[in-house]
Amino acid sequence: MKKERYTISVFTEDIVGMLNRVTIIFTRRKINIESIAASESEIPNIHRYTLVISEAEDMVKKVVLQLEKQVEVVKAVYHKDSEVVYQEIALYKVPTEVLLSGGEAEKIVRAHHARVLSVEPAFTVIEKTGHKEETQALFDQLEPYGMLEFVRSGRVAITKPMKTLKSIVEELEKVQY
Amino acid sequence: MNFKMNNMKAIEVKNTIPKQGLMTGSQAVVQSIIAEGVDLMFGYPGGAIMPVYDALYDVEQELTHVLARHEQGAVHAAQGYARATGKVGVCIATSGPGATNLITGIADAQIDSTPLVCITGQVASHLLGTDAFQETDVVGISMPVTKWNFQVTRAEEIPLAIAKAFYIARSGKPGPVLVDITKDAQFEEVDFNYVPFTGMRSYRPKPKLDLDSVKAAAKLINSAKRPFILFGQGIILSKAEQEFKAFIEKTGIPAAWTILGLSALESDHYLNVGMLGMHGNYAPNKLTNECDVLIAIGMRFDDRITGDLGRYAKQAKVVHLEIDPSEVSKNVHADVAVIADAKEALFELSKIVEENNHSEWLNKFRTLEKEEYVEVIENELYPSAEKMTMGEVINEINIQSDHNNIVVTDVGQHQMMSCRYFKFKQTKSMITSGGLGTMGFCLPAAIGAKMGQPNKQVVAVVGDGGFQMTLQELGTMFQYGVDVKIVVLNNEFLGMVRQWQEMFFEKRYASTTMVNPNFQTIVSGYGITTKKVENRDELADAIKEMLNHKGAYFLEAIVGKENNVFPMVPTGASVSEIRLK
Ligand SMILES: Cc1ncc(C[n+]2csc(CCOP(=O)(O)OP(=O)(O)O)c2C)c(N)n1
């Protein structure tokens, strides 16, 4: 089966060690996690992890079921890129002089709709949000001018399918065992 | 307890712990365990768990602690106890090496779905992460091999943590859990009030049975001409033995077992067609690739069962009854999945399947059975060779004990022989390490099984290799007077590995010959009656003596050195390529 990029969203109880339990499922099968982001969700005490991997769908399905099997995982789902709205943020630290010299660098920043976050005598920090291809394109163009530092966040993603986490949690809380 | 306690001090009951109200964390640990109905646990003390041991001293009448000789022994004993009784096994150890010594048993319990609660002591919370004396990150180490684990750093967390631990260990698909308790939390005071745990939103132990899936399963089963059932431990774990029997008897479908499912259906049931897998019976392996509907119940298609997946039951539609959604279509695609507790699913399914008898199809099994009997079984049970075989020793035990034993095995040739040739009448009578294949499991697990089922005869069958992995537990047997009948099938080899070397490595016997000590001398040092049998004509008497002996007994049977286990599905082969020799 063909490998594709999938976004896996894992909703868990907010407890110490959870990230470890989640990543073990991937490392056991030697699956590389391309990016990961952790944050709160819209529901108090439920955290969400957003992971990006490239795998065959069949494998992704199995992994998601094994994630859901973890006692403190509330829900795990996977989506193709077309089923999520997603974004990443990248920060670039470049020498301030290359921007002041009136050359190409400034044009590049404008053309990419990037923002200048902070200007210091020695360096300037630029921010760009977008998909990885977009933040990478800016990187590639700025790099010849001297890249002092670069960082890109993990993907954060909102799923398009409409069932809300709240309704899922409410259903789970209703069930009596 | 009905076993005698040899060298224990006279029990002086202090019983000073209140069952409620202010107490120390360690007293809360003990009271929580008692509140869960536990009266027997296994363990080994040390610095970081001493407060809990101190609290145990006060409750010896209600809660017996069995001192193992190694933490691995304690955890395997807890597993044996759990497997023989269906209750949660409990074991306890200190931090660092005590905790790491539990890991093999925890991993074994995880892969074989055995309910265990393991409690470990931990360094004081202010020392966590500092490489303090006997500190290991046991929560981290055990994470991949536990169903759930938790570190307690405050006494007030104890009752809930332990309540949750028992709930998670025994519910749904059972498994091992670990609660790690820092020493300061054991000393701290807590206002104790035990409330059993009843559920949490993130954990659905019993999926709701979808009757549509049951109908779809029934439809396939009713239309089948050559249906075939594979059953595993799920039947035993969900206590579905009666429902299962009703289901197969109504439908007349032949049923074969995984080694974890063994004893869920009596051996001589007319629809029991034997053992699946690498050293299983000829007919069920062969006919897996001839059936038209394959019905898997409470089993997970381990690779030792399926052989080459690419050539496994490709002609069949697959119905999978399984409680764990992540097992469905993991290895073998399920055309119909009934995700539910086996007991519930079988009850509903039995209502709507049609009565049938597949006598012609069943006859195919009988024919292949005969072939296997002539080629393999007869020679194993009634050998003409000078040296005894494992099979004939097992067969003699069968004959003399009317199939009423609990059999506990280790791992290797004798394990496969035990699964193949022991006969069973009652469920939970075969205890063996299946998924992990842990050598050293047998002796401690047999101790736990006997302590859990003191009125049953427990026979521990072990190789000369595996016996030496945990033979220190003879000390536990001695101290508590545990009546286990140990049968060492001695071939002076690590037999199973040697067999592979013979078949696949040109008989290059690298490090598989065993130069063994005098087992009689060692075992008799523990006050256990021993006997060594080298000749066939002494066998029946020796087994009679063993089975009638009051108390523990050790029988060493010298068997052929280079005997092999057959049939065999070689690694990478298809089940239908099973070899009779
Ligand atoms: C802890 C552990 N180490 C190694 C193995 C690999 N192994 C599987 S069977 C076997 C040989 C067992 O020999 P013995 O106990 O004498 O039993 P036999 O096969 O001769 O019946 C070995 C080494 C294992 N299963 N478990």
Active site residue B133: yes
Please tell me whether residues A98 and A127 are part of one structural domain. Answer: yes
What is the Cα–Cα distance from B287 to B252, expressed in whole angstroms? 16
The whole-chain average pLDDT of chain B stands at 96
- The pTM is what? 0.95
* End residue of a domain, out of A44, A67, A84: A84
Please tell me whether residues B231 and B352 are part of one structural domain. Answer: yes
Catalytic residue among B23, B275, B299, B496: B496
Catalytic residue among B147, B164, B173, B183: B183
- State yes or no: pLDDT of A177 exceeds 70: no
Those residues whose C-beta lies under 8 Å from the C-beta of residue B134, and which sit 6 or more positions away, are: B46, B47, B48, B94, B95, B96, B97, B98, B123
Task: Tell whether A144 is covered by a domain.
Answer: yes
Confidence of residue A160 (pLDDT cuts 50, 70, 90): confident
Catalytic residue among B60, B134, B456, B502: B134
CB under 8 A, 24+ apart: contacts of B360-367: B361/B225, B361/B226, B361/B227, B361/B254, B362/B252, B362/B254, B362/B271, B362/B273, B364/B283, B364/B287, B364/B290, B365/B254, B365/B273, B365/B283, B365/B284, B365/B287, B366/B283, B367/B283
Task: Tell whether B70 is covered by a domain.
Answer: yes
Task: Tell whether B382 is covered by a domain.
Answer: no
Please tell me whether residues B174 and B251 are part of one structural domain. Answer: no
Please tell me whether residues A80 and A9 are part of one structural domain. Answer: yes
Whether the CB-CB separation of B435 and B145 falls below 8 Å is answered with no
**Where residue A124 sits, what CATH number does that domain have?**
3.30.70.1150
State how far the alpha carbon of B45 is from the alpha carbons of A175, B66, B74, B93, B133, in Å.
41, 11, 11, 6, 16
Task: Tell whether A136 is covered by a domain.
Answer: yes
**Where residue B280 sits, what CATH number does that domain have?**
3.40.50.1220
pLDDT in tens, B502-526: 999 999 999 999 999 999 999 999 9
Please tell me whether residues B243 and B308 are part of one structural domain. Answer: yes
Whether the CB-CB separation of B82 and B56 falls below 8 Å is answered with no
| Helix/strand/coil percentages in chain B, nearest 5 | 40, 20, 40
Active site residue B147: no
- Chain B residues whose CB is inside 8 A of the A28 CB are 144
Task: Tell whether B433 is covered by a domain.
Answer: yes
Task: Tell whether A74 is covered by a domain.
Answer: yes
CB contact under 8 A, A16 and B326: no
Task: Tell whether B267 is covered by a domain.
Answer: yes
Length of chain A: 177
What's the CA-to-centroid distance between B467 and ligand 1, angstroms?
Answer: 10
Task: Tell whether B564 is covered by a domain.
Answer: no
Which residue of A16, A28, A177 is in closest CB contact with B206? A177
Return the closest-CA partner of residue B569 out of B300, B281, B333: B281
CB contact under 8 A, B326 and A62: yes
Confidence of residue B202 (pLDDT cuts 50, 70, 90): very high
**Where residue B176 sits, what CATH number does that domain have?**
3.40.50.970
Active site residue B451: no
CB contact under 8 A, A65 and B326: yes
Please tell me whether residues A15 and A39 are part of one structural domain. Answer: yes
The confidence score (pLDDT) of residue B12 equals 43
Whether the CB-CB separation of B566 and B500 falls below 8 Å is answered with no
- CB of B414 within 6 A of ligand 1: the answer is yes
- State yes or no: pLDDT of B447 exceeds 60: yes
Q: How many structural domains compose chain B?
A: 3
Whether the CB-CB separation of B459 and B404 falls below 8 Å is answered with no
Task: Tell whether B549 is covered by a domain.
Answer: yes
Task: Tell whether B113 is covered by a domain.
Answer: yes
State how far the alpha carbon of B73 is from the alpha carbons of B66, B83, B419, B479, B554, in Å.
11, 15, 23, 14, 18
Confidence of residue B6 (pLDDT cuts 50, 70, 90): very low
> How much is the average pLDDT of B260-281?
98
Which residue of B139, B205, B325 is in closest CB contact with A17? B139
- State yes or no: pLDDT of B11 exceeds 80: no
The confidence score (pLDDT) of residue A105 equals 82
Please tell me whether residues A95 and A27 are part of one structural domain. Answer: no
CB contact under 8 A, A24 and B151: no
Please tell me whether residues B417 and B522 are part of one structural domain. Answer: yes
Counting ligand 1 atoms within 8 A of each CB, the residue from B416, B494, B513, B563 with the most, and so the one to mutate, is: B494
- State yes or no: pLDDT of B4 exceeds 60: no
Please tell me whether residues B353 and B256 are part of one structural domain. Answer: yes
Please tell me whether residues B399 and B341 are part of one structural domain. Answer: no
CB contact under 8 A, B202 and A62: no
Cis peptide before B567 (omega within 30 of 0): yes
Return the closest-CA partner of residue B75 out of B40, B105, B110, B32: B105
Please tell me whether residues A113 and A96 are part of one structural domain. Answer: yes
Name which of A41-55, A134-148, B7-21 the model is least confident about. Answer: B7-21
B44-68: string of b/e by CB count within 10 Å (b at 16+)?
Answer: bbbebbebbbebbebbbebbbbbbb
Tokens of residue B11, six digits: 């029990």
Name which of A67-76, A155-164, B106-115 the model is least confident about. Answer: A155-164
Please tell me whether residues A27 and A79 are part of one structural domain. Answer: yes
Please tell me whether residues A128 and A80 are part of one structural domain. Answer: no
ipTM of the complex: 0.92
Confidence of residue B17 (pLDDT cuts 50, 70, 90): low
Please tell me whether residues B59 and B188 are part of one structural domain. Answer: yes
The confidence score (pLDDT) of residue B18 equals 62
- State yes or no: pLDDT of B67 exceeds 70: yes
**Where residue A13 sits, what CATH number does that domain have?**
3.30.70.260
Query: Alpha helix (H) ranges present in B36-191?
Result: 50-57, 71-85, 97-100, 103-111, 138-142, 158-170, 183-187
- State yes or no: pLDDT of A104 exceeds 90: no
Return the closest-CA partner of residue B3 out of B445, B550, B467: B550
Task: Tell whether A73 is covered by a domain.
Answer: yes
Please tell me whether residues B489 and B543 are part of one structural domain. Answer: yes
**Structural domain for A129, as ranges:** 86-152
> How much is the average pLDDT of B543-551?
98
- Work out the percent of chain B whose per-residue pLDDT is above 90: 96
Which residue of B139, B202, B330 is in closest CB contact with A71? B202
Please tell me whether residues A148 and A90 are part of one structural domain. Answer: yes
Tokens of residue B228, six digits: 């075939």
Q: How many structural domains compose chain A?
A: 2
Task: Tell whether A71 is covered by a domain.
Answer: yes
Confidence of residue A161 (pLDDT cuts 50, 70, 90): confident
* End residue of a domain, out of A84, A108, A140: A84
Please tell me whether residues A12 and A56 are part of one structural domain. Answer: yes
> How much is the average pLDDT of B147-168?
98
Please tell me whether residues B240 and B316 are part of one structural domain. Answer: yes
Q: Does B325 touch chain A (CB under 8 A)?
A: yes
Return the closest-CA partner of residue B181 out of B120, B134, B100: B120
> How much is the average pLDDT of A144-157?
95
pLDDT in tens, A63-75: 999 999 999 999 9
Please tell me whether residues B185 and B216 are part of one structural domain. Answer: no
Please tell me whether residues A49 and A102 are part of one structural domain. Answer: no
Q: Does A141 touch chain B (CB under 8 A)?
A: no
> How much is the average pLDDT of B160-175?
98
**Structural domain for B186, as ranges:** 21-192
Q: Coil, strand or helix: which one is B388? A: strand
> How much is the average pLDDT of B250-275?
98
Q: Coil, strand or helix: which one is B73? A: helix
Q: Coil, strand or helix: which one is A81? A: helix
Task: Tell whether B429 is covered by a domain.
Answer: yes
Q: Coil, strand or helix: which one is B461? A: strand
Chain B, window 113-142: residues with a beta carbon less than 8 angstroms from a chain A beta carbon: 139-140
What is the Cα–Cα distance from B187 to B210, expressed in whole angstroms? 49
Tokens of residue A117, six digits: 């976050």
**If you ran DSSP here, which 8-state letter would residue B245 be given?**
H
Please tell me whether residues A102 and A35 are part of one structural domain. Answer: no
What is the Cα–Cα distance from B539 to B537, expressed in whole angstroms? 6
Please tell me whether residues A43 and A109 are part of one structural domain. Answer: no
pLDDT in tens, B388-415: 999 999 999 999 998 889 999 999 999 9
Task: Tell whether A120 is covered by a domain.
Answer: yes
Task: Tell whether A160 is covered by a domain.
Answer: no
Confidence of residue B456 (pLDDT cuts 50, 70, 90): very high
Please tell me whether residues B217 and B133 are part of one structural domain. Answer: no
Please tell me whether residues B175 and B104 are part of one structural domain. Answer: yes
Which ligand 1 atom is nearest residue B467's CA? 15
CB contact under 8 A, A28 and B147: no
